[in-house]
Copies of this chain bind each other. A is one copy, B any other.
Amino acid sequence: MTEKPQSPSKSVIQTSSPNSSENNEMVVTPWEVKGKVDYERLVREFGTQPLTEDLLKRVEKYTDKLHLQIERRIFFSHRGLDTVLDLYDEGIKFVLYTGRGPSGPVHIGHLVPWIFTLHLQQKFDTRLYFQMTDDEKFLVDDEATLNETRKYAYENALDLIALGFKPENTFIIYDVKDMDLLYDITLEVAKRITYSTARASFGFQDSTNIGWIYWPAIQAAPCFIHKKLTGENLPALIPAAIDQDPYWRVTRDIAEKLGYYKPAQIHCRFLPGLGAGGKMSASMPETSIFTMDQPDVVKKKIWNAFTGGKGTAAEQRKLGADPIVCSIFQYYFYLFEEDNTKLEERERRCRAGEMLCGECKNDIAAKLNKFLAEHQRKREKAKDVIDQYHIKR
């Protein structure tokens, strides 16, 4: 049994906060997120920058209106976004880069940064490189086979395409299949990362397999692939959940030595699961809504979800409920209520006891099922065009 890399440094946070119970301990590594996530602490300990009002104004200049995910600080932190905007002001564009570890089916939480990425792509009219890390998921999970991770890479790509990305400027990189495009770049990167740097950044141990140790070079490569494919040297901007930050820190340290711009990141939070707290996890399927879930399954999961409600309807009408701890309210906040006024009204009615959890759950189940029916339809159509998103040789 492979042990997960442990935390020897501040880059991989894995300690109890004083008041956390044993099983609510915060764990945030590129391979594992659990417990109650303290985002302010992540910004502090990872050493990233918060998204300031000033920076948001600069983004707004190019996007007309701030996307709700940035306005609501679902994207809340960055590295080097200011530099990318400086360059953009001077006429130097950027490419977008994000990805997915295809270890299972896609759930609603995975869609959050992809939706924001699509928004950036549309507003900045730029190219996206999307990495399917079928190799990584094979290396870090004892039980995974390459057949499985490659199958999920295909399945997950359908979900990406269903969101509306266009093949003219969206390039999906399947690591195993596309290593011919990445390999020389990974070598240039790997030569400049010593084992001690990798161990300090990712918590590798003696029992870590050598594939996992090499892998940071493979996650770095798409930052630099645009120049190889087009001859054009542009910085990459990476919208992704903050657990992936250690990769980019290492990559930023070597980018300029290789003649590239440092990749910039913009980091998002995790959509909480339907249980009490924590990231939505594919390993606890009852706490996540998967894109292929059928209406009755969605209703059942929503019905069983953790909320901020009281023990009885009478008590809740009298005392109101707490939307802050409610997993259902997060669904509105992250994705399903774009209108701030309506969101505030929902919050007010919840707190005042005017709306009980049943009504709120019925509303979100209907919204989810409407969204999923449309998504599933587009996802089916994606099967006909998926090859157009593959980089041509």
Contacts and interface: CB of A to CB of B under 8 A. Distances in A.
Interface of A: 135, 138-139, 146, 176-177, 179-180, 183-184, 186-188, 190-196, 198-199, 204-211, 213-214, 216-217
B196 A207 contact: yes
Given A146-B188, A194-B206, A210-B213, 8 more contacts: A135-B187, A139-B191, A146-B184, A146-B187, A190-B214, A195-B205, A210-B217, A213-B213
B184 A209 contact: no
Contact of A211 (B177, B191, B196, B204): B191
A217 B135 CA distance: 14
Chain A residues touching B, majority SS: helix
A184 B180 CA distance: 12
Nearest to A207: B194
B208 A138 contact: no
A217 B206 contact: no
Contact of A193 (B193, B195, B205, B209): B209
Contacts of A209: 190-195
A193 to B, nearest CB: 5
B196 A206 contact: yes
A210 B184 contact: no
Q: Which 3 A-B pairs have the closest CB atoms?
A: A190-B211, A214-B214, A196-B206
A190 B179 CA distance: 16
Given A135-B187, A188-B146, A206 B195 contact: yes
A371 B312 CA distance: 97
A1 to B, nearest CB: 12
A214 B208 CA distance: 12
